[in-house]
C-alpha cells in the first residue's frame, strides 16, 4: 500500500473511532459467523460417518443434524447482525466526510470554482463517498473473513490430514492471490481511463444543460449531442476493455481453483480407498475447500473495488487538500460596526498575475453615503465588488472598514455585514419564496412581504396561482431577467446589512420599473454605506460621489454636476447615453 493510501486511511480513522464499540461488536459477530461456517463441514463429516453402515445397523444422528442446522442458521444470523451493527458506521462516516468536502468547497476561492467543472467535482464527491462505503465494507467483510477462514481451514487440514493437503491449499491460495494482484493492477489502469472519460462526459452534460438557452439560440442541439457522444464513445471503449479483461481474470482464477480442488479430492479419495480416511473426510475436505474458495472467487473483484475505492477517495480528499486562497488570520476579530465606512486605499489587483485589472485605486465611502463607480466594460468595476466581499484578496494596497484592513476581520462576520445585488442573478432550482428568504432564512411573513413590496414583486407574486410556492426552475429559467433581478434585490434587502453593493442592479428592468425600483433602492440606501456599480448613468445622478474608472485606474471623481461641468470622460458617456435614449436605443 502506497503512502497516499495510508494517508487516506489515516483521514478516515477518526470517523470510525467515534463508533469504535460498533466496530468491535461487528468484528466479533464476523468472527462468530466464520467459526460457525467452518464448523459446518466438521459436523457434516460426523453426520456422514454416523450414517455409514456399522454391523448392518443404521442410527439417525439427530443431535448432529440439529447441530448442523443450528450452525447453518448461526452463520447467516451472525453475518446479518454484523451488517445491522456496522451499517450506521459506514453511513455516518460517508455523510460526515461528504459534508466536510462540501463545506470546504464553499470556502475555496471564486478562482477555484471558475477553473473547475462543477459536474466533474460532483462526480468526484459521489465516487469518493461511494469509495468510503466500498472500502469499509470490503476490507472488514471480505478481506478479514477470508483471512479468518483461511486460518481455520489451514488449522483443520494440518491437524486432521497430512502435509500434502496443507501444501496444495497454501500453494493454490498463493498463486491465486498473486495472479489476482497482477491482473487487477493491469485492469486498474484501464478502469482509471474509463473513469476519466466518465467524468468528462458528465461535466459536459451538466455544462450543456446549464447553458440550455444558449444551445437553443444557436440551434446547436445536434452539435452538443455529438460532443457528448464523443466522450461516451471513449468511455464505452475503455469500459468494454475493462469488462473484457474481467473475463481473463475470472478464467485464470477458476483454473487455479479447479486444479487445487481436483488434486485434493484425488488425495482424499486415495485415502478413502486405502481406508486411511472415511467418506466423511472426503465430505469434510470438499466442504472446507468450497467454503474457502467461494470467498476467494470474489477476491479479484474485492481487490479491484478496494483499489478503485482508494483512487476515488484520494481524488475526493485531494479537494480537501486544495489550499484556500482566502484564510482568516489567527488574530482576526469579529466585525461589529453598525455604521461602517469603507475605504479603497491604493488597491491594485490582477486575476492572472500578468495584466492589472485595478491599479492604485483609492476612494472612500463614508457611512450613510452612496458612491457610484462607472466606466467602460472591462474597466474593473465588478472587480471592486468582488474584492470588497473578499472573493479575492488585493495584491497591493488595502480595503479598510472603519479604518482597519478587512483582512483583520473574520470572514463570516465581515461578509454578514455586506449585501450584494449582482449583475447576473442565478437562482436556486426551488420555490420563489425559498429564493427570497435566502437573504434571511429565519425571517417572518411580515418581513418577507415588506421586501417583496420594496422590490416591486407584489403584483407578480399575486398573479401566480401558487404564489410563493412557484418553482423558478434551473438557474431561475422560469422567470424573466427583470423578475430575477427583483428577487435578488428583495433577498439583499432581507439580509439587512449595513453595507450594500449594487452591481448593475436595474440593468434588466424597463424604464418604468427602473424608476420605481430606483426609488426603493434610494430608500434602502439611507443609513447604509452603499457602493453602486452602474452602466446607466441616469441611475446614479444622486450619488454623493461618482468614481470613473478606465483600464483599472481612477481618472475622474466628483458629483454628477461637477463631472458634467468638467467635460471629461463622464460627460462624454452621459451625452452618448442621452442621445441614445432620445433616438430610441
Tell me the three-class secondary structure of 73-142, residue by residue: HHHHHHHHHHHHHHHHHHHHHHHHHHHHHHHHHHHCCHHHHHHCCHHHHHHHHHHHHHHHHHHHHHHHHH
Any idea what the Cα angle at residue 460 is, between residues 455 and 461, rounded to 5°?
Answer: 90
Query: In this predicted structure, what is the pLDDT of residue 527?
Result: 83
Q: Give the C-alpha separation, 381 to 358, whole Å.
A: 9
For residue 57, what is the DSSP state? B
pTM above 0.85, yes or no: no
**Which residues, 6+ apart, have CB-to-CB distance to 13 below 8 Å?**
none
> Is 386 within 8 Å of 531 (Cβ atoms)?
no
Query: In this predicted structure, what is the pLDDT of residue 348?
Result: 92
Residue 350 exposed, middle or buried by CB count within 10 Å (0-12, 13-18, 19+): middle
> Is 346 within 8 Å of 352 (Cβ atoms)?
no
Residue 517 exposed, middle or buried by CB count within 10 Å (0-12, 13-18, 19+): buried
Extract the residue ranges of the chain whose pLDDT is less than 70: 1-9, 11, 51-61, 109-120, 297-300, 475, 505-514, 516-517, 520, 580-585
Q: What structural domains does the chain harbor?
A: 9-321 (1.20.1560.10), 342-582 (3.40.50.300)
Query: In this predicted structure, what is the pLDDT of residue 371?
Result: 92
Q: CB 171: neighbour CB atoms within 10 A? A: 14
Amino acid at each position: 500500500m502506497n503512502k497516499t493510501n495510508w494517508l487516506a486511511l489515516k483521514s478516515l480513522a477518526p470517523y470510525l473511532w467515534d463508533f469504535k464499540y460498533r466496530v468491535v461488536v461487528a468484528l466479533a459477530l464476523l468472527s462468530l459467523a466464520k467459526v460457525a461456517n467452518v464448523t459446518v463441514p466438521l459436523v457434516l463429516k460426523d453426520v456422514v460417518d454416523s450414517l455409514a453402515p456399522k454391523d448392518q445397523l443404521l442410527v439417525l444422528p439427530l443431535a448432529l443434524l440439529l447441530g448442523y442446522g443450528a450452525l447453518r442458521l448461526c452463520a447467516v444470523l451472525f453475518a446479518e447482525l454484523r451488517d445491522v451493527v456496522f451499517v450506521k458506521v459506514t453511513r455516518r462516516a460517508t455523510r460526515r466526510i461528504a459534508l466536510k468536502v462540501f463545506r470546504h468547497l464553499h470556502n475555496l476561492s471564486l478562482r477555484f470554482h471558475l477553473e473547475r467543472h462543477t459536474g466533474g467535482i460532483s462526480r468526484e464527491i459521489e465516487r469518493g463517498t461511494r469509495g468510503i462505503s466500498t472500502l469499509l465494507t470490503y476490507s472488514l467483510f471480505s478481506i478479514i473473513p477470508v483471512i479468518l477462514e483461511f486460518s481455520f481451514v489451514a488449522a483443520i487440514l494440518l491437524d486432521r490430514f497430512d502435509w500434502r493437503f496443507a501444501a496444495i491449499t497454501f500453494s493454490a491460495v498463493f498463486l491465486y492471490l498473486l495472479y489476482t494482484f497482477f491482473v487487477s493492477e493491469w485492469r486498474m489502469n484501464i478502469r482509471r481511463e474509463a473513469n476519466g472519460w466518465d467524468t468528462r462526459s458528465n461535466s459536459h452534460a451538466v455544462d450543456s444543460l446549464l447553458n440550455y438557452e444558449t444551445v437553443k439560440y444557436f440551434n446547436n442541439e445536434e452539435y452538443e449531442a455529438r460532443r457528448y457522444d464523443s466522450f461516451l464513445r471513449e468511455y464505452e471503449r475503455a469500459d468494454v476493455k475493462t469488462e473484457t479483461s474481467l473475463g481473463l481474470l475470472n478464467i485464470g482464477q477458476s483454473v487455479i481453483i479447479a486444479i487445487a480442488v481436483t488434486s485434493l479430492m484425488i488425495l482424499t479419495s486415495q485415502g478413502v480407498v486405502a481406508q486411511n480416511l472415511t467418506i466423511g473426510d472426503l465430505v469434510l475436505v470438499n466442504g472446507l475447500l468450497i467454503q474457502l474458495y467461494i470467498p476467494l472467487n470474489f477476491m479479484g473483484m474485492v481487490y479491484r473495488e478496494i483499489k478503485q475505492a482508494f483512487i476515488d477517495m484520494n481524488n475526493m480528499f485531494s479537494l480537501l487538500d486544495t489550499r484556500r486562497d482566502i484564510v482568516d488570520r489567527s488574530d482576526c476579530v469579529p466585525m461589529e460596526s453598525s455604521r461602517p465606512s469603507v475605504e479603497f486605499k491604493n488597491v491594485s489587483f490582477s486575476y492572472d498575475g500578468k495584466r492589472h485589472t485595478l491599479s492604485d485605486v483609492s476612494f472612500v465611502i463614508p457611512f450613510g453615503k452612496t458612491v457610484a463607480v462607472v466606466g467602460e466594460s472591462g474597466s474593473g468595476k465588478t472587480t471592486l465588488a468582488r474584492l470588497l466581499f473578499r472573493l479575492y484578496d488585493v495584491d497591493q494596497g488595502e480595503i479598510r472598514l472603519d479604518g482597519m484592513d478587512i483582512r483583520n476581520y473574520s470572514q463570516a462576520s465581515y461578509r454578514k455585514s455586506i449585501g450584494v445585488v449582482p449583475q447576473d442573478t442565478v437562482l436556486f432550482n426551488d420555490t420563489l419564496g425559498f429564493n427570497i428568504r435566502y437573504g434571511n432564512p429565519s425571517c417572518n411573513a411580515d418581513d418577507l412581504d415588506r421586501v417583496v413590496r420594496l422590490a416591486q414583486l407584489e403584483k407578480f407574486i399575486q398573479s401566480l396561482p401558487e404564489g410563493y410556492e412557484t418553482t423558478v426552475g434551473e438557474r431561475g429559467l422560469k422567470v424573466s431577467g427583470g423578475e430575477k433581478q427583483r428577487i435578488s434585490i428583495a433577498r439583499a434587502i432581507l439580509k439587512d446589512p449595513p453595507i450594500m453593493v449594487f452591481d448593475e442592479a436595474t440593468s434588466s428592468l424597463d424604464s418604468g420599473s427602473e424608476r420605481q425600483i430606483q426609488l426603493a433602492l434610494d430608500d434602502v440606501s439611507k443609513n447604509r454605506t452603499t457602493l453602486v456599480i452602474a452602466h446607466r448613468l441616469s441611475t446614479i445622478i444622486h450619488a454623493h460621489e461618482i468614481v470613473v474608472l478606465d483600464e483599472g485606474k481612477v481618472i475622474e471623481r466628483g458629483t454628477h454636476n461637477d463631472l458634467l461641468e468638467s467635460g471629461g470622460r463622464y460627460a462624454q458617456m452621459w451625452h452618448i447615453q442621452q442621445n441614445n435614449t432620445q433616438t430610441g436605443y
